[in-house]
Amino acid sequence: MGDWGLSLDRSFFDRPAHEVAPSLLGKVVVHGPVAVRLTEVEAYGLPGQDPASHTYRGLTPRNAVMFGPPGHLYVYFTYGMHYCANVTCLPPGTGSGVLLRAGEIVDGADVAAERRGPAVKARDLARGPARLAVAMAFGRDHNGEDVIAGNIRVYEGSRVPPEKVMEGPRTGVSSGREVPWRFWLDGDPTVSPYRAHTPRR
């Protein structure tokens, strides 16, 4: 296990998602033997305000974790095949979070490779939100996990120079696509390629 610095506290996440998101770049998420340094994230805003957010239409059984305390994992199943993970932001009842989109495996690469497949390049082990979830073994049981006091933690990691932080439109969303709340590390090979939303037939 590497030295990733201190575990983040609750106050780090008790802010608007678009402020938390860029400050998560360079932070390290650890679950068991695997650690990933975040290189790409996306912020999702408040109910009724951000049409791309799962909370846009209000509280449901599926998105209830998003309306809970800050610093918890919201893990959801999408397209009938993938899990993705967000970290909740702001106080209970608010309903916003940050999607963990991509990162560099900095510990446990052998375990991540077993989970992702032997032919997968190191660059691609957690390059995209579904791939990151597989590499980190996030699943339905981790929905609601407390990343401050639970078995999944987020650590300080490495300092990121402000000039390395890029921002632009969120990728693959059908609504609110123009909102520049996708943040990534400039030039990092583990950042996923941008793709605009294409309607499913």
Structural domain containing residue 146: 10-158+165-185
Residue-wise pLDDT tens digits, 11-50: 999 999 999 999 999 999 999 999 999 999 999 998 889 8
Q: Is residue 27 part of a domain?
A: yes
Domain count, the chain: 1
What pLDDT score was predicted for residue 56? Answer: 86
Output the CA–CA distances (angstroms, integers) from residue 140 to 3, 21, 34, in the order listed: 29, 23, 18
Q: Is residue 201 part of a domain?
A: no
Output the CA–CA distances (angstroms, integers) from residue 74 to 87, 116, 122, 171, in the order listed: 6, 21, 26, 19
Q: Is residue 111 part of a domain?
A: yes
- State percent of the chain over pLDDT 70: 94
Q: Is residue 3 part of a domain?
A: no
CATH number of domain containing 118: 3.10.300.10
What pLDDT score was predicted for residue 1? Answer: 56
Give the model's confidence band at 199: pLDDT under 50 very low, under 70 low, under 90 confident, else very high: very low
Helix (H) or strand (E) holding 110: helix 109-116
Q: Is residue 53 part of a domain?
A: yes
Q: Is residue 91 part of a domain?
A: yes
Q: Is residue 191 part of a domain?
A: no
pTM score:
0.93
Residue-wise pLDDT tens digits, 177-194: 778 899 999 999 999 887
Q: Is residue 200 part of a domain?
A: no
Q: What dihedral angle (degrees, nearest 10) is formed by the CA atoms of 30, 22, 48, 145?
A: 10
